[in-house]
Amino acid sequence: MITIDAKGLHYKELNKIIRESIASGIKNVFLENVNGQYYIGDGIKGDNITITVNGVPGNDLGVFMDGPSIIVNNNVQDNVGNTMNSGKITIKGDAGDVVGYGMRGGRIYIRGNAGYRIGIHMKGYNEQIPIIIIGGKVGSFFGEYMAGGVMVLLGLNNSEELAGEYFGVGMHGGAIYLKKKIDFSKYSKEVEFLEANDDDMAFLKKYLLEYAKDFNLSSEDLIGGPFYKIVPSSARPYAHLYTSSSL
């Protein structure tokens, strides 16, 4: 275990200390007084490694991360879990824009709200399924170009508008689950709005229980249905956009 006082440290120094600590076999890293440092946990790899962040981390938290866990006791800024491969990020506050861009695996749990372009171009392949669960509401372009993985939007905190404009535009893989029914008529015609079935709920249960435990929420309240499911209407939304040129 190591505790690092991040006060006044540039991200380059801070991340170097984190990388060196992990390389030396330390499994628990506590960061105090974090104040906007970028790239915390960038590209770190390994099992049973946990970084606990006190303060507000800067952009690209957990970018390219492969295995470890990060717990943030406050809000986070933009690009959390950018192109993350595996591991887990738990955020007790709100998250900024572009969470989990191109994410390929692992979990991101956000207790509060999140900004624009959450989970865009998430991927998934066989057993590798990235999961994002958001407690509150999200901004526009939720799940844009989503190609795989699963997102859950819980709408706790009695949010009135669950999501902004352009929900699921260009979505061509994966699934989005909602705990509240929304009027989907104004949204993308590239997706379908369904009621979640027993298989869906069996899949989600494990993650929702973990989410409830992480944030001290009542698991009955969280799992109690019904849930709604949004899936792409086609794996090839733009297949008919083109014709072969004669030149």
The residues that touch other proteins, with contacts defined as CB under 8 A, are 11-12, 15, 19, 38-39, 42-45, 59-60, 63-66, 78-79, 82-83, 85, 98, 101-102, 104, 117, 120-121, 123-125, 128, 141, 144-145, 147-148, 170, 172-173, 235-247
CB nearer to other proteins: give 95 or 222.
95
* Count of beta carbons in the 10 Å neighbourhood of residue 108: 29
Least distance from C-beta 35 to other proteins, angstroms?
A: 17
- The rounded distance, in Å, linking the Cα atoms of 142 and 86 is 21
Least distance from C-beta 53 to other proteins, angstroms?
A: 16
- The rounded distance, in Å, linking the Cα atoms of 24 and 7 is 23
Q: Are 145 and 171 in contact (CB under 8 A)?
A: yes
Least distance from C-beta 108 to other proteins, angstroms?
A: 15
CB nearer to other proteins: give 89 or 208.
89
Least distance from C-beta 207 to other proteins, angstroms?
A: 20
CB nearer to other proteins: give 44 or 178.
44
Least distance from C-beta 150 to other proteins, angstroms?
A: 13
Query: 17 is written with which tokens?
Result: 């200390």
CB nearer to other proteins: give 218 or 244.
244
For 149-190, the DSSP string reads EEEEE---TT-SS---SSTTTT--EEEEEESS---GGGS-TT
Q: What's the CA angle centered on 63, arms 105 and 80, to 5 degrees?
A: 85
Least distance from C-beta 48 to other proteins, angstroms?
A: 17
Q: How far apart are the first and last CA of the chain?
A: 64
Q: Which amino acid is at 150?
A: V
Q: Are 68 and 43 in contact (CB under 8 A)?
A: no
CB nearer to other proteins: give 36 or 224.
36
CB nearer to other proteins: give 15 or 208.
15
